[in-house]
Structure 1
Amino acid sequence: MMQLTKKLPAQTLTRLFALLAVLLIFLASGAEALAHNVAEGDKGYIQESSGALILPFIYLGAKHMVTGYDHLLFLFGVIFFLFRLKDVGIYVTLFAFGHSATLLFGVLTGISANAYLIDAIIGLSVVYKAMDNLGAFQRWFGFQPSTKAATLVFGFFHGFGLATKIIEFDIAEDGLVPNLLAFNVGVEIGQLLALGMILILMGFWRRTGSFMRHAFAANTVLMAAGFMLVGYQLVGFAVA
């Protein structure tokens, strides 16, 4: 990973604080949509469903991923310095495998954990990836943790977080396995769609001279967003 040590000019700092303010307002106003919460209409549909409903659950899975900004923030950090599609494919596959494994395992076994704590760890995954992109671990500890292993491990937590939320819905046993598999397929489809949009935007940005100039600021904002997610979830855990 590239190490970014440039100091931020005053203009960039102003933009950074403005973006942080927007993020803070967004998080404060969208409390019900945070982390792995599901829209009330979708939640009601899931709880009332019975039998195999393949296409609707594919749609719900894709919708969750496309609107799940905790996943998108992490993926943004993962691909930030990946310039070859082969590398993007490797890391996204590791994340998808981890996410799918714990999603299926958690729901089918009924094993769950406190949703606030799991989502706080997911917020930490965003912080970790931003710090990794900034070269913090190499400078602080003198070694570079395996980025592939970290992507897989945090994929496990992302999937387990969603499994914990789905278990709360008490889905009908009739059609559970095909519906769950369809939902997971939808999640992966949504991930590919979201990733495609991110890669297109990143491709345009990387062709400009501002990419490396603003890479430090972008990852600082990413880290701040992760800390906000962590803070929100820990507060929720404390007052729950």
Structure 2
Amino acid sequence: MMPGLRTLWLLAAALLLAAAPAWAHKPSDSYLTLDVREAGVDGQWDIALRDLDMAIGLDQDGNGELTWSEVRARHDAIAAYALARLKLASGGAPCPLRVTEQLLDNHSDGTYAVLRLHADCGGAVSALEVDYRLLFDIDPQHKGLLQLRHAGQVSTAIFAPDSARQSLQVADASGWRQFGDYVRHGVWHIWIGFDHILFLLSLLLPAVLVYRDQRWEGRTTFRAAAIDVLKIVTAFTLAHSITLTLATLGVVALPSRLVESAIAASVALAALNNVWPLFHGRRALVAFAFGLIHGFGFASVLLDLGLPKAALLLSLVGFNVGVELGQLAIVLLFLPLAYLVRNTVLYRRGVLGLGSCVIVLVALAWLVERGMDVKLLA
């Protein structure tokens, strides 16, 4: 295979990897709060109903809609499934968990079962050992987001298949440790935030080209392409950092459905511009304008995770740094490959043209789903 064609295949594969999950279920999170009190632990565990339905089956009539009676009928099964996948211990001795109450609550991405928990550790707790295994066997992208509270202090942890067992000091509210946790979560979120990735890619695809005389031509230097990418990424970063901060601090709030619908529309418009250039020379301005909306999307994730008051600024900055590192990894993968194949017909018509059309269709499906609360993509 010729070097240029091999590079094109690598670029196409990278784009497919980014776009393919658009049809998959959104990677899930659960939200666990544990409050250490004397010799016991009180807690609350929010688990998405869609995840529980996938794991143990809640939709008894198979009509694709869950009712309160269907969920209530499976309370015992929900409790048994959850408790089998969460173990607490203190000083090497187990802290038996039980569910004291089950409720429902709405999060930004749907309805969650709320399990109120209690554990008796039989003595003072200085370090809590947590073994978290929820959904890892059926969804390896699942994350468990923990807030650990003790004597007015809050610390956080993120559980994944490679970090399912963690020992947490109940008085460890180290800001820098939490900074690192939020950096990792920011990187993870941008990598699973397929709408954010497709928006960024839609703006980056023409960066190695110039629209001249009604046609796309390859840029003459890598430096020119890199400068164009730098302008776009900087504008997007600045914009979403502004609204991420304002929304997280509670200064500005927008309805979740409006934000998610606007993000889908931004993806469609950015990709459509690659087929019918309307604002080719102003893509950085577009990145800034729509980046303000994407910042509200990032904020919804951060608000669901929860920010420890003792390390509010560090955690907020850490999450944003993680998002930027995730973006940087995408750019470093994309730009050299795209520049090498920029002059090929396959890049201009295949990757840019056809790829952008596919992104438009996916984004329009998202827009209908989010605006009308229906399911089009499996």
Give the shorter-chain TM-score range.
Answer: 0.7 to 0.9
Any conservation in 1 of the 2:186–2:323 contact (CA below 8 Å)?
Answer: yes
Any conservation in 1 of the 2:308–2:315 contact (CA below 8 Å)?
Answer: no
Amino acid corresponding to residue 368 of structure 2 in structure 1: G
Amino acid corresponding to residue 195 of structure 2 in structure 1: D
Q: Distance in 1 between matches of 2:258 and 2:374?
A: 7
In structure 2, the gaps of 5 or more residues are 1-15, 30-107, 110-140, 149-153, 157-172, 209-224
Is the partner of 1:113 in helix, strand or coil? coil
Q: 1:6 matched to which residue of 2?
A: none
Q: 1:174 matched to which residue of 2?
A: 310
Any conservation in 1 of the 2:240–2:294 contact (CA below 8 Å)?
Answer: yes
Any conservation in 1 of the 2:241–2:320 contact (CA below 8 Å)?
Answer: yes
> Which residue, out of 364, 370, 377, partners 1:227?
364
Q: In the TM superposition, what is the alpha-carbon distance from 1:165 to its structure 2 partner? A: 3.2
Q: Distance in 2 between matches of 1:199 and 1:28?
A: 25
Q: In the TM superposition, what is the alpha-carbon distance from 1:209 to its structure 2 partner? A: 3.3
Any conservation in 2 of the 1:126–1:223 contact (CA below 8 Å)?
Answer: yes
Q: Is residue 2:181 matched to residue 1:56?
A: yes
Q: Is residue 2:324 matched to residue 1:188?
A: yes
Q: 1:30 matched to which residue of 2?
A: 25
**1:179-224 residue CA offsets vs partner (Å, 9 max, x unmatched):** 1111111111111011212224423442533112323212111111
Q: Distance in 2 between matches of 1:228 and 1:43?
A: 29
**1:88-124 residue CA offsets vs partner (Å, 9 max, x unmatched):** 1011100010011111111023532222220111111
Q: Distance in 1 between matches of 2:28 and 2:278?
A: 32
User: Percent identical across equivalent pairs?
Assistant: 23
> Which residue, out of 230, 235, 238, partners 1:94?
235
Any conservation in 1 of the 2:244–2:295 contact (CA below 8 Å)?
Answer: yes
Q: Tell me the TM-score normalised to structure 1 length.
A: 0.75
Bigger Rg, which one: 2
Over aligned residue pairs, what C-alpha RMSD do you find? Answer: 3.0
Q: 1:233 to 1:44 in 2, by over 3 A?
A: farther
Which range moved further: 145-154 or 220-229? Answer: 145-154
Q: Distance in 2 between matches of 1:213 and 1:169?
A: 41
Q: Which has the higher helix share?
A: 1
Q: 1:92 to 1:28 in 2, by over 3 A?
A: closer
Q: 1:79 matched to which residue of 2?
A: 204
Q: 2:266 matched to which residue of 1?
A: 125
Is the partner of 1:63 in helix, strand or coil? helix
Q: Distance in 2 between matches of 1:27 and 1:188?
A: 21
Q: Distance in 1 between matches of 2:199 and 2:282?
A: 16
Any conservation in 1 of the 2:22–2:362 contact (CA below 8 Å)?
Answer: no
Q: In the TM superposition, what is the alpha-carbon distance from 1:67 to its structure 2 partner? A: 2.2
Amino acid corresponding to residue 189 of structure 1 in structure 2: L
Q: In the TM superposition, what is the alpha-carbon distance from 1:131 to its structure 2 partner? A: 1.6
Q: 2:276 matched to which residue of 1?
A: 135
Is the partner of 1:164 in helix, strand or coil? helix
Q: 1:145 to 1:122 in 2, by over 3 A?
A: farther
Q: 1:162 matched to which residue of 2?
A: 298
Aligned length in residues:
209
* Higher normalized contact order (CA 8 Å, seq sep 6+, divided by chain length): 1
Q: 1:69 matched to which residue of 2?
A: 194
Is the partner of 1:109 in helix, strand or coil? coil
Q: Which has the higher strand share?
A: 2
**1:130-173 residue CA offsets vs partner (Å, 9 max, x unmatched):** 121122648xxxxx784332110101111111113322344331
Q: In the TM superposition, what is the alpha-carbon distance from 1:175 to its structure 2 partner? A: 0.8
Amino acid corresponding to residue 73 of structure 1 in structure 2: L
Q: Distance in 2 between matches of 1:55 and 1:163?
A: 18
Amino acid corresponding to residue 75 of structure 1 in structure 2: L
**1:36-89 residue CA offsets vs partner (Å, 9 max, x unmatched):** 96x753433599625511211111111111222111101111111112101110
Q: In the TM superposition, what is the alpha-carbon distance from 1:29 to its structure 2 partner? A: 4.0
Q: 1:110 to 1:124 in 2, by over 3 A?
A: same
Q: 1:141 matched to which residue of 2?
A: none
Q: 1:145 to 1:197 in 2, by over 3 A?
A: closer
